[in-house]
A and B are shown apart, each in its own frame.
Chain A
Amino acid sequence: MSILDVRDLSVDYLTEDGVALHAVENLSLRVERGCSLGLVGESGCGKTTVMMGLLRLLPEEGRIVNGQVLFDGKDLLQRSEAEMRKVRWREISMVFQGAMNALNPVRTIESQIVEALLLHHIVNDGQAARRRAGELLELVGIPATRGSQYPHQYSGGMRQRAVIAMALACNPRVLIADEPTTALDVMIQAQILELLERLQADLNLALVLVTHDLGMVAEMCADVLVMYGGVAAEYASSDVIFNNPQHPYTQRLLQAFPDLEEPGSTLASIPGTPPRLDDLPPGCRFEPRCQCEWREAICAHRPPPLVEIEPGHRVACHWAARMV
């Protein structure tokens, strides 16, 4: 059984006038124990919404209107808020986008890690907690003695690492990393990715990596889910995605990334912009930007279902499904 099995999750955002914007529709994904899943897409495609939704941390306007979030077999959406608080961080933890600001500026780094340790009874005594916090910091490459410092005394990269340390404090089974390296320079990026890889292997951690950077996904993830406009576009193992992408969006996305083996090829950009949530196309959401030669009338009228075109490879495209 997968550790995390999200089925048909739909999330709406309510505007002030009461209009429901369908930010995510019928999104399904699975994370296996100790494995990594990459969640890829442009800004605004709903990837963060899915993650916040499954932890029930949406903003006030957010509504989960459909679906199941099965964690180890049990549906999190059926849990009470009090029960959720036991699941959060202890079983599933998250490193947020812009993690540098995720730390409370007037408390020491150490105290914030200790807080998590004590809250979930990982340790029950203050001193032991401080020691464990030091160990966690060392794990991410920060000297334990710096635990008594404040966030503003750390560099951006260090803060990112500290947040990762904090996220691992309770030995969760799933770690969600939302854009863990934006705004960090390339060297630090590499360090952090290496760190995550190592931790994953050492702790048998299931990792969900949310990013718009395909390169990161290629390096780190076993499976990849490509999202577009709030729905799943393509879902397969990373091998398949990179070598045999079937969804036009995935194909264009790959073309937009430089390939070391073909230095002379031109970088393509995808003309147009992602769909506005208050003005969603009635059919395939990618259709307005799709330059596929096989585009047909059905593409603009009916949203393509996510179909398994070969074992372990799902695509939401009328054309790709036809080819099976």
Chain B
Amino acid sequence: MGVIGALMLLLVVSVAVFAPWVAPYDPYERVQVTPEQILTPPDPQHLLGRDDAGKDVLSQLIYGSRVSLTVGFTASFMAMVIGTTVGLVAGYFGGRIGNVLMRVVDFLMVIPELPLMLVIIAVMGRGLLNIILVIGLLGWTYTARLVRSQVLSVKERQFVLRARSVGASSVRIMTRHIFPQVLPLVIAQAVLDISVAILAESTLAFLGLGDPTLVSWGNMLNFAFERGMSRRAWWFLLPPGFAIVWVSLSLVLIGNTLDEIVNPRLRTHHLFDPRRMIAPTLAVRPAQEREATEPT
């Protein structure tokens, strides 16, 4: 499954990178349109029809990928850095620092994310940077928890004790010895975090708090919802959403597969079908042969 996800993601990334060449029109260009040219269904010149301002939906879809991917990777990276640092410190030093840090993590985890993000952006103002900051600053908690529990188990292992006895400094131990052990898990989580970030950005944009200067899928859905619903403009409503699902799903598939590699789980449990346990050669014999032969 992970491979499919990777391919899916590759498609989107290429589209994003090569957007100017792939897209038929430039969505940032001003267009003069007549009323009949608004919200038109697909036609040969506009494969996905036109939006509420008369612009080509397909081009916007293509350019929108840039925003989503940028926000996704940046916010996730931020969350990864913060989360890993907090987790390493909390896990390695333990004690009061560890406790305080974990309480902060618990605190952030309890507060509902979307309302908090809405409120912060509403006050701070719309903008790409704000969105990335908000998502990144709220999304590091899972990673922190994960890293901390991993550090706790790695901390007592031989090679760490050896490093300490040799007199290595804490920072050195954390970065050179513990961090590499923790990295695979962090990466698996980071991939999932990217999809969470993309979903968060699109939700914020849909609810009206996206960056108004950019073409993003969330923004498209915002306009589509507000102005396209009455005309059931499916060409405007569905593609951005499906694009979001496409990217999200690709990341989730990759992340899920990575998670299985990094965290190998048992393949089987005790409640399987017992019929295969006895080889067919030993199959149930007819009734008269059931009783044993005479004892030796």
Contact = CB atoms under 8 A, between A and B. Distances in A.
Interface stretch (B102-110, B177-185, B281-289): B281-289
Contact of A77 (B268, B282, B291): B282
B111 interface: no
Contact of A66 (B268, B282, B291, B295): B282
A75 interface: yes
A59 B267 CA distance: 11
Given A74-B290, A78-B285, A78-B290, A56 B278 contact: yes
A174 to B, nearest CB: 17
Report, as a range, how many residues of chain B touch the other chain. 10 to 19
Interface in B259-296: 268, 270, 272, 274-279, 281-282, 284-285, 290-292, 295
Contacts of A70: 292, 295
A81 B275 contact: yes
A108 interface: no
Contacts of B281: 65-66
A237 interface: no
B295 to A, nearest CB: 5
Contact of B290 (A56, A65, A75): A75
A65 to B, nearest CB: 4
Contacts of B279: 12, 63-66
A85 B156 CA distance: 44
Given A59-B268, A78-B284, A78-B285, A64 B278 contact: yes
Nearest to A5: B295
B277 A62 contact: yes
Interface string A4-19: 0100000010000000
A68 B278 CA distance: 11
A58 interface: yes
B272 to A, nearest CB: 5
Contacts of A67: 282
Nearest to B287: A78
A275 B62 CA distance: 62
B208 to A, nearest CB: 47
A177 B259 CA distance: 39
Contacts of B272: 60
Contacts of A63: 276-279
B228 to A, nearest CB: 52
A22 to B, nearest CB: 12
B276 A68 contact: no
A1 B290 contact: no
A80 B274 CA distance: 10
Nearest to B276: A63
A81 B272 CA distance: 12
Contacts of A73: 291-292, 295
A74 B268 contact: no
A2 B295 contact: yes
A66 B279 CA distance: 8
A178 B107 CA distance: 48
B162 to A, nearest CB: 28
A64 B292 contact: no
B278 A60 contact: no
A5 B277 CA distance: 20
Contacts of B278: 56, 63-64, 77
B274 A74 contact: no
Contact of A68 (B274, B277, B292): B292
A56 B295 contact: no
A81 B284 CA distance: 12
Interface of A: 1-2, 5, 12, 56, 58-68, 70, 73-75, 77-78, 80-81
The 8 A-B pairs at the shortest CB distance, nearest first, are namely A65-B279, A60-B268, A60-B272, A70-B292, A64-B278, A63-B279, A81-B274, A1-B295
Given A1-B295, A60-B268, 8 more contacts: A64-B277, A65-B279, A65-B282, A66-B282, A70-B292, A78-B284, A78-B285, A78-B290
30 contacts: A2-B295, A5-B292, A5-B295, A12-B279, A56-B277, A56-B278, A59-B268, A59-B270, A60-B268, A61-B268, A62-B277, A63-B276, A63-B279, A64-B278, A64-B282, A65-B281, A66-B282, A67-B282, A68-B292, A70-B292, A73-B292, A73-B295, A74-B292, A75-B290, A77-B278, A78-B284, A78-B290, A80-B284, A81-B274, A81-B275
Interface of B: 268, 270, 272, 274-279, 281-282, 284-285, 290-292, 295
